[in-house]
Amino acid sequence: MLIWKSIWSTGLKRFNVVPVNIVWLKRDLRLTDHQALFSAVQHEEPVLLFYCFEPIALRDKHSSMRHFQFIAQSLLDIKSRLPDGALYCAYGECLAVLEQIQTSVGINKVFSHQEIGLSYTFERDKQVATWCESKGIVWHEFPQGAVVRGLRARTNWDKNWQKTMRDSVLDVDIQQVNFFNETHRFNNHVGLDFFIRVQTNSVFQTGGEGIGRQVLTSFFENRGKEYAYSLSSPEKAVEHCSRLSTYLAWGNLSLRQVYQEVLKNWKKPYWRKTLIAFTSRLHWHCHFIQKFESECDMEFRCVNRAYENMPRVTGKAEHERLEAWKSGNTGVPMVDACMRSLIATGYLNFRMRAMLVSFLCHHLELDWRAGVAHLARLFLDFEPGIHYSQFQMQAGVTGINTIRIYNPVKQGEDKDPDGHFVKKWVPELSDIPAPLVHSPWTLTEMEQMMYGIELGVDYPLPVVDLKESYSKAQTLLWQWKKRDDVISEAKRVLAIHVR
């Protein structure tokens, strides 16, 4: 036995096989304020940074190439600040890739953040946990922001949020880290350039911690001063909203870093209204993700189960309405402009997102599940917890939130009074003056000739009558909200999700 131990020890030295501590990157694509990395470097074993592009993720209905491009850009940013070979980007089923690392060099511990993801990521993580246990590998998982895993009630949740956001930022001196950089041993490498499909001057935001910091800095230097007065405008929001949601969704920045930047600027003259409004939205960020963590099957069903049988349009009408909504051809200019803008840029301000969901579920009478994956693919800042929580709230199927049925004509007149946004994204209407541009179906035949447009040919007529659909939706939603089964379910929802 001693002889074999001696041979094995000699073999390890000869082939330089040293068990590594893996930092498994998920939605935390940064090197600063990274608790998993911070904890891993406290141990003596070499640190291997690892990201896995999984086939199941590329096939998932919520995913699109714009997401993977942002991820790849973020990884390239990380790679540029590390020694050669210190970041291992793999393609394959995660378990198979981990098994190959284990076989090649050995894994001592795994460090990662808890991913508040979709059902497939949760199932994968359970499989990885079982595998680690079978191999005697300790897996340390850390909370993402102030979200508490397995929470069933909100007692002291706000206190925990404040504590987490005010705690010290966990930074690491990258130059002093003992990185494992012999990733040439592994077989599953993937080239990040494969995912970079558009030019660097694209209207899509570019991924990376460095660029995320630039966006954060520019917000507090000048862009954010008009935030509170611009966030509802689809045109002004592009410039004056923080534009940090994508960098938070993929973890280029931590929420704590952003919150502490708010505190640094708290006494900035003439910024108080903006800072209060912005801070409340940072708080909502964790609140909605916590809802998803506490009741993750909302990915598949209504939060308030009593809404499962609420009547919805089906068949041919469902297909036609859904396709018109998806492509931005509903005949309602503000809805179409928002969808086309989102398709082209990956960004849309919050109010207009809410309007798109409201129009889908209330005016078009479609089940929220019909459009939830479509918008997920389009949102560059797709964050599962926020997406599903907000989608159901705007769809009116929680039983606890105020019923909001957005009037897209009024939204256009109020938030795009000159019609600039609509005319940019629906150029068919560019010669129609405001406010008529927001309701072109009211044009007479003579006016259509005057403005050079034929409704139903150059631009579609509305797929529904807005006044009729509004009235019908309002009656239906209030009838259901008063039902005994909805009220009973609402009590359960309140007990879990309300602070």
Q: What pLDDT, in 10s, does the model give residues 47-86?
A: 999 999 999 999 999 999 999 999 999 999 999 999 999 9
Interval 440-465 mean pLDDT: 97
Interval 154-158 mean pLDDT: 91
Token pair listed for 154? 């909100």
User: What is the pLDDT of the chain when averaged over all its residues?
Assistant: 94
Residue 438 pLDDT > 70, yes or no? yes
Closest CA to 352 of 333, 370, 365, 367: 333
Please check whether residue 22 is in contact with residue 107, taking contact to mean a CB–CB distance below 8 angstroms: yes
Query: CB atoms < 10 A from the CB of 289, how many?
Result: 23
Beta-bridge partners for 23 = 49, 111
The pLDDT value given to residue 362: 98
Residues 245-291 pLDDT 10s: 999 999 999 999 999 999 999 999 999 999 999 999 999 999 999 99
Token pair listed for 469? 């659909």
Please check whether residue 321 is in contact with residue 340, taking contact to mean a CB–CB distance below 8 angstroms: no
The pLDDT value given to residue 17: 65
Strands 87-91 and 138-142: unpaired
Residue 14 pLDDT > 80, yes or no? no
pLDDT band at 2 (very low <50, low <70, confident <90, very high): very low
Distance of CA 362 to the CA centre of its chain: 24
**Which of 10-24, 139-153, 192-206, 292-306 has the least mean pLDDT?**
10-24
The pLDDT value given to residue 152: 87
- C-alpha distances in angstroms, 375 versus 106, 234, 260, 264, 401? 41, 16, 31, 35, 21
pLDDT band at 4 (very low <50, low <70, confident <90, very high): very low
Residues 374-405 pLDDT 10s: 999 999 999 999 999 999 999 999 999 988 99
The pLDDT value given to residue 3: 34
The pLDDT value given to residue 197: 74
The pLDDT value given to residue 198: 60
Percentage of residues in the chain with pLDDT exceeding 70? Answer: 96
Handedness of CA 334, 336, 337, 341 (dihedral sign): positive
The pLDDT value given to residue 389: 96
Beta-bridge partners for 22 = 48, 110
Closest CA to 243 of 338, 347, 342: 347
Look at the block and give the residue holding tokens 């150029």: 427
CATH numbers and ranges of domains, the chain: 2-147+178-192 (3.40.50.620), 206-297 (1.25.40.80), 300-497 (1.10.579.10)
The pLDDT value given to residue 235: 97
pLDDT band at 325 (very low <50, low <70, confident <90, very high): very high
Token pair listed for 90? 């793999």
Helix (H, G, I), strand (E, B) or coil at 108: strand
Helix (H, G, I), strand (E, B) or coil at 238: helix
The pLDDT value given to residue 8: 35
The pLDDT value given to residue 221: 96
The pLDDT value given to residue 18: 79
